Amino acid sequence: MREFSDRPVSQAVIEHLIAAAGSAPSGSNKQPWQFVAVQDPEIKRRIREAAEAEERNFYAGRANPEWLEDLAPLGTDADKPFLETAPWLVIVFKQLRNLESENGSDQVYYVNESVGIAVGMFLAAAQFAGLATLTHTPSPMKFLTGILDRPEHERAFMVIPVGHPAEGSTPPDIRRKPLEAIMRVDLDQRPNEDEPARPLPSSMPPPHDA
C-alpha cells in the first residue's frame, strides 16, 4: 500500500508488532536488529526529504531501463508522501556487532538472513492486526543513521510505513505466483496435483485499536 490515512495507530499496537518481530530466530541467537518507531512529524519530514533526494537520483539515472520498466506497473516515482502521512515509520536497523556482553562475543552471524526473517514476521503481524505496510528501501540509506542518531555499528535495513489505507485507495493490481509454481515435493512432484489448492482467506481481522 502506497496511500495511507493519517488515522492514528496506538503505540501499544506498534509495540506488539515489534515484539512479534523480536521473537524471530537469528544466527547464534544474536538478535542483530533494532527497530526505531517514529511518529514525530518533524522527524518524518526530515526522513521524507532525504529519502526523496536519493529517489530522484535513482529515477534520474541510477536505475537501468529494465528496472524502471519493471517498476512501471507499480506506479512508483520519486515522490514519497507516505513517509509523512502514515502515522508510524518503523525503521529497521541491522547490527554488525553485538555489544551486549550477556549475549556472547561481539560477533554476529547471518545478519541479513536474521533481520530479513524478523522483518517478515513484523509484516505478517501488521497484516494480522488489520494494518497496511510498505517495504521501502531508498538507496543509499545512510542518512537514516544521522537523522535517528544511531550508533556506527548499525546500518539501516528497511523503512516500513505502518497505518491504515487511505479511503478509496487500492494496492497495485499485481498477482502472486500460484502454489504449483513455487513448490515441489521431493524431486519434481507438484503439490496436490489431483486436487485444487484451497483459496487463502480474503479478509483479515480488524486492528486491535479499531
pLDDT digits (tens, 9 = 90+) for 86-101: 999 999 999 999 998 8
Predicted TM-score of the model (pTM) = 0.88
* Amino acid (one-letter) located at 97: R
Determine whether domain 11-170 maps to CATH 3.40.109.10: yes
Asked whether the bond before 140 is cis by omega within 30 degrees of 0, the reply is: yes
Domain ranges of the chain: 11-170
- Looking up cell 526529504 gives 49
Give the chain's length. 210
- The angle subtended at Cα 183 by Cα 178 and Cα 184, nearest 5°, is 140
Neighbouring residues of 21: CB distance < 8 A, sequence distance ≥ 6: 33, 35, 118, 119, 121, 122, 125
Closest-CA residue to 17 (of 163, 161, 123, 88): 123
C-alpha cell at 117: 526473517
One digit per residue, the tens of pLDDT, for the chain of length 210 reads 889 999 999 999 999 999 999 999 999 999 999 999 999 999 999 999 999 999 999 999 899 999 999 999 888 999 999 999 999 999 999 999 999 888 889 999 999 999 999 999 999 999 999 999 999 999 999 999 999 999 999 999 999 999 999 999 888 788 899 999 999 999 888 887 656 555 555 544 544 444
C-alpha span between 163 and 133 (Å, rounded):
7
